[in-house]
Amino acid sequence: MKETTLIYLHRPHQTLMLLRNKKKDDLNSGKWIGIGGKLEAGESPYEGAKRETYEETHYIMHSARFVGTVLFIDLTRHYEEKMYVYTSEDFSGEMHVCDEGELHWIDDEKLSDLPMWEADPYFLSWLKDEKVHQAKATYQNDHLLSFEETQM
């Protein structure tokens, strides 16, 4: 099973989002997502989140809050992924151009207007509390069949 990170950088009333529009044959093409990616061998989820944040934005993440885990199941592609979700307000540096898409600071009240995966609004809602969440998102033909959150 692939393990990945998803990071939402936040500043007052805005969240950094990535419009995936640059990679050929991108499953996420045309969707707005947080930053992140695959864990490398021997890398902890937190280390991966810091690395991915720098690689995709050039921001240096100094600390982050672990928000939860999501097990993605794609019935169409016979694919499973475990994703570790983080948020951070503690970062520095100058944002640069991302190879995977366009980075934009989005006003928090406008996030729900963006085209994104159907389960992503759940993750964004997790940023508003101090809980650690655990969920399973099952997709078929790129549509969410179920989102089951386990209370911890």
- The residues near 78 (Cβ < 8 Å, ≥ 6 apart) are none
Which pairs count as long-range contacts for 76-80, CB under 8 Å and 24+ apart, including other chains? 76/139, 76/140, 76/141, 76/142, 79/2, 80/1, 80/2
Distance CA 11, CA 95 (A): 13
Residue 95 belongs to domain spanning? 2-150
* DSSP one-letter string for 47-58: HHHHHHHHHHH-
Q: What are phi and psi of 120, to 5 degrees?
A: -60, -35
Mean confidence (pLDDT) of the chain:
93
Where is average pLDDT lowest: 16-25, 31-40, 80-89? 16-25
Q: What is the pLDDT of residues 100-110, one digit of tens each?
A: 899 999 999 99
Please give the share of the chain, as a percent, with pLDDT higher than 90: 84
Number of domains, the chain: 1
Contact between 111 and 99 under an 8 Å Cβ cutoff? The reply is no
pTM to 2 decimal places: 0.93
Mean pLDDT value across residues 2-21 = 95
CATH number, domain containing residue 20: 3.90.79.10
Secondary structure element (H or E) that encloses residue 108, with its range: none
Structure confidence at residue 29 as a pLDDT band (50, 70, 90): confident
In terms of Cβ atoms closer than 10 Å to its own Cβ (0-12, 13-18, 19+), residue 58 is middle
Q: Flag whether pLDDT at 152 surpasses 70.
A: no
